[in-house]
């Protein structure tokens, strides 16, 4: 009789583990007792109406803000008290809602900065930067100063910078804002490619069709609290989520 051997299931520890995190500004609970996990190579959406606390949550994860309560573990190490530069060195990379780039540098130079910082030769960094920007439709403006470019183009520079990083966790804040839908599709392809290389990603977006098609799981925040989390199709059909957006 043939014996069928079961393949053992390997459960990898989460790359990011946020537990009971809270942050208040004066009397305002911007983030109130929120927890969620992100597995290695997982792409998770973070959605919610304006003022829900999503960007504050990113600031708490990457060390830009210190939580009043709770903990943030990255690769099973407590990074709650780490400075942003230390979090970055450990492998957490983020993009910013406003593009967060250097206006007096060219588009290519902006993308090169983190690559040079990690020791790549200028020529190699320049080549990779141009390639990443070209893929996002920015080939004609690679040599233009970032301050001369549109908000959408600056968002793409910020995205390209994340795409070429060696981070194992990337936090993207409204990456498709002001971006043409065809380029948003290319961005999703880039994120999936990074995912296949084991890079985990948390994405804040108000573009629900885009985020639902990309993520394996969606966390919903409303007024500083986690309302729910689950599969995109389940979250998308939840009347509480619809009500929160209305
Ligand atoms: N540094 C700060 N000082 C005071 N209040 C702040 C600060 N940062 C955020 N807030 C407040 O905390 C709440 C949550 O803001 P946050 O930017 O995290 O929300 P969000 O979900 O990212 O919103 P949006 O989708 O509009 O970007 C808001 O009421 C905001 O005004």
pLDDT tens string 19-77 = 999 999 998 999 999 999 999 999 999 999 999 999 999 999 999 999 999 999 999 99
Contacts of 218 (CB under 8 A, 6+ apart): 44, 45, 46, 47, 211, 212, 229, 230, 231, 232, 235, 236
Check whether residue 130 and residue 85 sit in a common domain: no
- Measured in residues, the chain has a length of 246
Span 220-236, mean pLDDT? 95
- Ligand 1: centre distance to CA 21 (Å): 15
- Ligand 1: centre distance to CA 170 (Å): 20
Domain count, the chain: 2
Last residue of a domain, one of 121, 144, 166: 166
**104 has pLDDT over 70:** yes
The torsion region of residue 198 among left (phi > 0), alpha (psi -120 to 50) and beta comes to: left
| CB-CB contact of 129 with 108 (8 Å) | yes
**95 has pLDDT over 80:** yes
Mutate to test the pocket of ligand 1, among 21, 24, 25 (most ligand atoms within 8 A of CB): 25
> Which residue(s) pair with 204 in the sheet?
46, 173
Domain of residue 107 covers 92-166
CB of 23 closer than 6 A to ligand 1?
no
Read off the DSSP letter of residue 78.
E
Last residue of a domain, one of 121, 147, 166: 166
- Ligand 1: centre distance to CA 72 (Å): 19
Query: According to the model, what pLDDT value does residue 88 have?
Result: 83
Q: Which residue has tokens 């989460």?
A: 14
Check whether residue 71 and residue 129 sit in a common domain: no
**164 has pLDDT over 60:** yes
Beta strands in 48-196 (DSSP E): 69-74, 77-78, 92-94, 169-173
pLDDT bracket for residue 10 (50, 70, 90) = low
Contacts of 133 (CB under 8 A, 6+ apart): 107, 108, 111, 139, 141, 142, 156, 157, 160
Structure-block tokens of residue 28: 């305002």
| CB-CB contact of 229 with 216 (8 Å) | no
Coil, strand or helix at 229 = strand
Task: Name which residue leads in pLDDT, 96 or 194.
Answer: 194
pLDDT bracket for residue 216 (50, 70, 90) = very high
Query: According to the model, what pLDDT value does residue 86 have?
Result: 85
Q: How far is CA 156 from CA 177, 186, 187, in A?
A: 9, 11, 9
CB of 82 closer than 6 A to ligand 1?
no
Coil, strand or helix at 215 = coil
Mutate to test the pocket of ligand 1, among 52, 172, 173 (most ligand atoms within 8 A of CB): 52
Mutate to test the pocket of ligand 1, among 22, 23, 30, 204 (most ligand atoms within 8 A of CB): 30
Q: What is the 3-state secondary structure (H, E, C) of 6-68?
A: CCCCCCCCCCEEEEEEEEEECCEEEEEEEEEEECCCCEEEEECCCCCCHHHHHHHHCCCCCCC
Query: According to the model, what pLDDT value does residue 227 have?
Result: 95
Question: Which atom in ligand 1 lies closest to the alpha carbon of residue 59?
Answer: 18
Query: According to the model, what pLDDT value does residue 1 have?
Result: 53
**4 has pLDDT over 70:** no
Last residue of a domain, one of 119, 143, 166: 166
Check whether residue 98 and residue 133 sit in a common domain: yes
Task: Name which residue leads in pLDDT, 174 or 2.
Answer: 174
- Ligand 1: centre distance to CA 178 (Å): 20
Structure-block tokens of residue 59: 């600031």
Check whether residue 74 and residue 98 sit in a common domain: no
Q: Which residue has tokens 């509480």?
A: 240
pLDDT tens string 113-138 = 989 988 999 999 999 999 999 999 99
Mean of pLDDT over the chain: 92
Check whether residue 60 and residue 105 sit in a common domain: no
Nearest CA to ligand 1 atom 12: 30
Tell me the ipTM for this assembly. 0.97
Task: Name which residue leads in pLDDT, 3 or 85.
Answer: 85
pLDDT tens string 180-193 = 999 999 999 999 99
Does some domain include residue 190? no
CB of 51 closer than 6 A to ligand 1?
yes
How large a percentage of the chain has pLDDT more than 70?
Answer: 95
Nearest CA to ligand 1 atom 11: 30
Check whether residue 80 and residue 105 sit in a common domain: no
| CB-CB contact of 86 with 63 (8 Å) | yes
Contacts of 106 (CB under 8 A, 6+ apart): 142, 143, 144, 145, 146
Query: According to the model, what pLDDT value does residue 7 have?
Result: 60
């Amino acid at each position: 009789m043939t014996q069928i051997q079961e393949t053992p299931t390997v459960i990898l520890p989460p790359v990011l583990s946020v537990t009971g995190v809270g942050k208040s500004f004066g009397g305002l609970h911007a983030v109130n007792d929120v927890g969620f996990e992100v597995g290695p190579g997982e792409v998770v959406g973070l959605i919610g109406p304006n003022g829900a606390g999503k960007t504050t949550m990113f600031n708490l994860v990457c060390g830009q803000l210190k939580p009043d309560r709770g903990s943030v573990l990255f690769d099973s190490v407590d990074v709650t008290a780490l400075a942003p530069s230390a979090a970055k060195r450990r492998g957490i990379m983020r993009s910013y809602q406003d593009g967060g780039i250097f206006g007096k540098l060219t588009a290519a130079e902006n993308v090169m900065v983190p690559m040079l910082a990690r020791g790549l030769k200028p020529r190699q960094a320049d080549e990779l930067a141009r390639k990443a920007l070209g893929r996002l439709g920015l080939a004609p403006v690679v040599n233009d100063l970032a301050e001369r470019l549109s908000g959408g183009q600056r968002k793409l520079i910020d995205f390209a910078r994340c795409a070429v990083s060696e981070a194992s966790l990337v936090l993207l804040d409204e990456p498709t804002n002001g971006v043409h839908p065809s380029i948003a599709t290319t961005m999703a392809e880039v994120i999936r490619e990074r995912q296949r290389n084991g890079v985990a990603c948390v994405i804040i977006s108000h573009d629900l069709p885009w985020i639902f098609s990309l993520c394996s799981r969606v966390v919903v925040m409303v007024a500083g609290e986690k309302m729910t989390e689950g599969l995109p199709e389940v979250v998308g059909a939840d009347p509480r989520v619809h009500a929160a957006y209305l």
